[in-house]
Structure 1
Amino acid sequence: MALRIPGKSMPSPSPDGVPVDLYVVVLAWQDARFERAGADLWHSVSLPLTDAVLGTRLNVHTLHGSIDVTVPAGIQPDAVLRLKGKGLPAFRSKRTGDLYLRI
């Protein structure tokens, strides 16, 4: 992805030099822990049967640091927990995506 920022580059060295557009190339690498869907991230979590039946607290690593998440008792396979605002910043927006935990 390339971002164009109009008029923010250095001017030419000539006396009447005018600032030109600045181009920033953004490279993103895949993180093996997450799947990306726009600004949202998905992460799969495996639980022992006893934790799924009785409920538990998980320490989950996010892009913003580690947080504790409560898994409710009786959670079913393929259930999804949403961690609001723990995904990626949305492009050209003040919104931040969510992190979804697939149990």
Structure 2
Amino acid sequence: MIKLSGQGEVGSKGGPRGDLYLVINVKPHSLFTREGNDIYFDMPVTFVQAALGDEIEVPTLDGKVKYTIPEGTQTGTVFRLREKGIPRIRGNSRGDQYVKVIVDTPKKLNEKQKDLLRQFASECGEEVHEKKRTFGQKIEDMFKKK
């Protein structure tokens, strides 16, 4: 709420002007959330980008900026882009933009991709157990063999 002293209506019987109170509602943005002058954005990246590091384009209020994420970036890691937030009412500075990395795990992998990930896990000393087939999948396999 913003108070504008002496900007309201004239008082009764010629009295001084009252105060005007402005209530401002900010419509939610489709990409960003706001806290004060800072804005927040969840940035999806691929597993490969997070593991190897990459230069990504991050949307800001002023357009896209390039940002280099380091190798080994974990989901939930937050980076700060200085002065990319909301302009301050008084002064010529701005808030910051905070970018939260969300590693996008692939949902559909072909057999070659699965084999490569199993090899990767083996190189890292991880043991990955084969996914058990459901009853329906076993029935499908029986019909495929005929």
TM-score category (smaller protein): 0.7 to 0.9
TM-score with structure 1 setting the length: 0.73
Is 1:4 the counterpart of 2:3? The answer is yes
Cα distance in 1, alignment partners of residues 94 and 20 from structure 2? 26
**CA-atom RMSD in angstroms:** 2.5
Q: Percent identity?
A: 31
Hey, what does 1:71 align to over in structure 2? 69
Hey, what does 1:29 align to over in structure 2? 27
Name the structure with the higher strand share. 1
**How many angstroms does 1:74 deviate by?**
1.1
Equivalent residue runs for 1:1-103 within 5 Å: 2-6=1-5, 24-90=22-88, 92-94=89-91, 95-103=93-101
Name the structure with the higher helix share. 2
TM-score with structure 2 setting the length: 0.54
How many equivalent residue pairs? 97
- Which 4+ residue blocks in structure 1 deviate beyond 2 angstroms? 2-9, 18-27, 92-95
Gaps of 5+ in 1: 13-17
Gaps of 5+ in 2: 11-15, 102-146
Whose relative contact order is higher, 1 or 2, with alpha carbons under 8 Å and at least 6 apart? Answer: 1
Q: Flag the structure with larger Rg.
A: 2
